[in-house]
């Protein structure tokens, strides 16, 4: 076998984060009696993206990002809120409403776990990601869960992957494959780490200069790649 170790992203690769996020935000804003949902959601996405850009540039810590995004959103409405409280509620809702990215996900993960070492490499909150995997019956198949919160750096930062290399027993980049939906996070990060990479395109085309070793429409196509 060319590969013996597979690293999977979670959000929009194994689990449908977009769907979970939509429900979590709706219920969060309803819980705190926020009207004008469509506009407040757009403002949230705008403020959240600004903070993530700062975080990716090393200008803002992950913890600060989580505390600031909802206060910045509600400031547009003249409301002063407790960012930690809101973020805790938001993540409790994310944990409560996970969804598979595709029906085939459990079968593929279960099948591959019989022949390969499986790991998670994800940007996100550790306990939220673990809870979502457990709720969907996937957690038990992974040898370890590597998260940006735990590591202190996020994909594609080389330090994220250096941590993985140092903490994964018998790691060999030439025998490892990084699988995910993000060109910038998963493919660039995996490429820089010396790993082969597999982009889950799901009907989209990769127009970026960053190229993966493989492209697949669905996870079952991994069977052919892995032989």
178 shares a domain with 126? yes
The whole domain housing 37 covers: 18-96
Reply yes or no on whether the pLDDT at 17 is more than 70: yes
Give the domain-ending residue among 75, 96, 117. 96
Tell me: pLDDT of 82 over 90.
Answer: yes
Distance set, CA 55 to CA 33, 148, 184, 200 (Å) = 29, 11, 14, 25
144 vs 58, higher pLDDT: 144
pTM: 0.93
Mean pLDDT score of the chain, rounded to an integer? Answer: 95
CATH number, position 56: 1.10.150.240
80 pLDDT above the threshold of 70: yes
Give the per-residue pLDDT at 165: 96
> Is 41 in the same domain as 133?
no
Q: Are residues 45 and 154 in the same domain?
A: no
Query: Which residues participate in catalysis according to the annotation?
Result: 9
CATH of the domain at 185: 3.40.50.1000
Same domain as 191, residue 113: yes
In this structure, what DSSP letter does residue 198 have?
E
Same structural domain, 169 and 213: yes
């Amino acid at each position: 076998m060319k590969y013996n170790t597979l690293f999977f992203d979670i959000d929009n690769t194994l689990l449908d984060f977009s769907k979970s996020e939509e429900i979590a935000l709706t219920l969060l804003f309803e819980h705190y009696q926020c009207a004008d949902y469509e506009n407040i959601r757009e403002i949230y996405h705008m403020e959240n993206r600004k903070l993530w850009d700062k975080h990716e540039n090393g200008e803002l810590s992950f913890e600060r990002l989580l505390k600031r995004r909802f206060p910045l959103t509600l400031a547009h409405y003249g409301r002063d809120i407790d960012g930690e409280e809101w973020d805790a509620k938001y993540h409790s809702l994310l944990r409560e409403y996970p969804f598979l990215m595709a029906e085939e996900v459990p079968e593929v993960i279960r099948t591959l776990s019989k022949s390969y070492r499986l790991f998670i490499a994800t940007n996100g909150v550790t306990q939220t990601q673990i809870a979502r995997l457990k709720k969907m019956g996937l957690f038990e198949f992974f040898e370890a869960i590597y998260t940006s919160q735990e590591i202190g750096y996020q994909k594609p930062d080389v330090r994220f992957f250096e941590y993985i290399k140092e903490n994964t027993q018998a790691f060999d980049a030439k025998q490892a494959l990084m699988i995910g939906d993000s060109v910038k996070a998963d493919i660039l990060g995996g490429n820089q780490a010396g790993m082969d990479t597999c982009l889950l395109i799901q009907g989209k085309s990769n127009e970026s200069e960053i190229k993966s070793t493989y492209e697949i429409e669905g996870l079952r196509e991994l069977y052919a790649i892995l032989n």
